[in-house]
Amino acid sequence: MDAVFTAEQDEFRRALREALTGVATDAPEGHDRDLWARLARRLGLPGLTLPAVYGGTGRPLTDLAVVQEETGRALLSSPLLATAGLAAPLILALGTPEQRSGLLPRIADASLTCTLAVPGSLADALALTGDNTKGAWAGGGRAGGIQARGTGDGWTLYGEAPQVLDGHSAGLLIVAAHTGGFPRSRALLFLVDADTPGLTRARLATPDGTRPRAALQLRHCPAALLGAEDGARVPGVLAATGRAAAALLAAEAAGAAAGALSRTVEHLRARGALLGHRLADLYVHVQAARAAAYYAACDPAAGALALAAGLEAQRTVAGEAVRLTGGTGPQVRRYGERAAADELLLGPVHRMRDVAAERAGLFAVEDPQGTAA
């Protein structure tokens, strides 16, 4: 099974693959800023799905999934996922008119990169591995995580976020913090500029340099509330953002799996080796993950299940690529490193499958009267 694309999407894919040919996969700063600017000018990547009123092109999520698949194939280190897949949808859904008009055009023209910082599990915050309405991922109770305190004329944040995607290089952080103590306990989202006093950022050593993460410390750090002080909306908006982001990540993982398989075939052909049934099995695995990713891009409710399939395909194909090639060449090894980094960031695949199955009611039992137990 394979996804069907429009002629416009095929041309967009061709242009992007051409632009990424031969580029460095990572950079000391986490991504190549000049390349990011060129891709933004030429293809409008960061504003691809943003409304035209904010400088975007209003394209469907499937177009952004095409981009993520190609960046995954190239193992490109890019702020696209954190900026366009996580931060921009949150600003669009929750931001005040002034925040949307002030931030989204800067995202669309690539002059601003952003990310989402949560002190707990990113997958939990995005409701990919369970219910996110309890707010434990932001820091529950009176202490732990990141705490927000109202100061009369604003807010200050105090706490830590140990694993933040592109957290060392993003120009704007959307920080999840807990406030209200026990009586009015709730999680809210806050805007923190990269140069805000009290914010410390340190890039982490990770298995894969193309998936950079950072540890953040906030010590009485001034912040602006994203949108209104309505904690009831935050979990739902995060969950909706998570479903779409999961589809994008699934496409990226399928692209990485396809890239690893392609390099393995090239390696074996160059040495005159026979291409056996195992490679055919891997090809089917990749195409199944790819189909699941694009189905989820059309119906984000399937995002978590598609992401589980993509991560499993990425890990399986990358592992076989290393085995079949003997690990020769740094690029083959990097596909395996990316697979390990993604599962460290997002959690084990089986948790996503369990939650997806539970939500779909696959294991519901009916009583004799025909109602689900």
Supply the CATH number for residue 219's domain. Answer: 2.40.110.10
Pair 126, 210 in one domain: yes
Pair 40, 127 in one domain: no
Pair 145, 177 in one domain: yes
Pair 139, 164 in one domain: yes
Instruction: Give domain status of residue 26, yes or no.
Output: yes
Pair 191, 254 in one domain: no
Question: Helix 234-270 vs helix 277-298: angle between axes, to the nearest 10 degrees?
Answer: 150
Q: Distance between CA atoms of 325 and 303, rounded to whole angstroms?
A: 32
Question: Which helix or strand (DSSP H or E) is residue 161 part of?
Answer: strand 155-165
For 53-91, what is each residue's pLDDT tens digit? Answer: 999 999 999 999 999 999 999 999 999 999 999 999 999
Pair 119, 228 in one domain: yes
Pair 76, 138 in one domain: no
Instruction: Give domain status of residue 61, yes or no.
Output: yes
Alpha-helix runs per DSSP H in the chain: 7-20, 33-43, 61-73, 80, 88-94, 97-108, 122-125, 234-270, 277-298, 303-325, 330-346, 349-360
Pair 225, 120 in one domain: yes
Instruction: Give domain status of residue 241, yes or no.
Output: no
For residue 18, the domain's CATH number is 1.10.540.10
The answer, yes or no, to whether residue 245 has pLDDT greater than 90, is yes
* Residues linked to residue 155 through DSSP beta bridges, in sequence order: 150, 223
Predicted local confidence at residue 83, as pLDDT: 97
| 78, 108, 138 - which closes a domain | 108
Contact by Cβ (8 Å): 187, 176: yes
Q: Distance between CA atoms of 40 and 47, rounded to whole angstroms?
A: 8
Instruction: Give domain status of residue 276, yes or no.
Output: yes
Pair 24, 102 in one domain: yes
Q: Report percent pLDDT > 70 for the chain.
A: 90
Query: Which range of residues forms the domain containing residue 100?
Result: 7-108
| 89, 108, 127 - which closes a domain | 108
Predicted local confidence at residue 135, as pLDDT: 65
Instruction: Give domain status of residue 322, yes or no.
Output: yes
Angle, alpha carbons 154-157-158 (nearest 5°): 150
For residue 301, the domain's CATH number is 1.20.140.10
Pair 313, 273 in one domain: yes
Tokens 């280190």 sit at which residue? 77
For 40-56, what is each residue's pLDDT tens digit? Answer: 888 899 999 999 999 99
Structure token pair of residue 312: 């499993």
Instruction: Give domain status of residue 243, yes or no.
Output: no
| 202, 232, 262 - which closes a domain | 232
Tokens 């394209």 sit at which residue? 59
Instruction: Give domain status of residue 370, yes or no.
Output: no
Pair 205, 153 in one domain: yes
Q: Quick one: pLDDT band at residue 278, thresholds 50, 70, 90?
A: confident
Contact by Cβ (8 Å): 185, 168: no
Provide the number of structural domains found in the chain. 3
Instruction: Give domain status of residue 244, yes or no.
Output: no
Pair 262, 352 in one domain: yes
- pTM score, whole prediction: 0.91
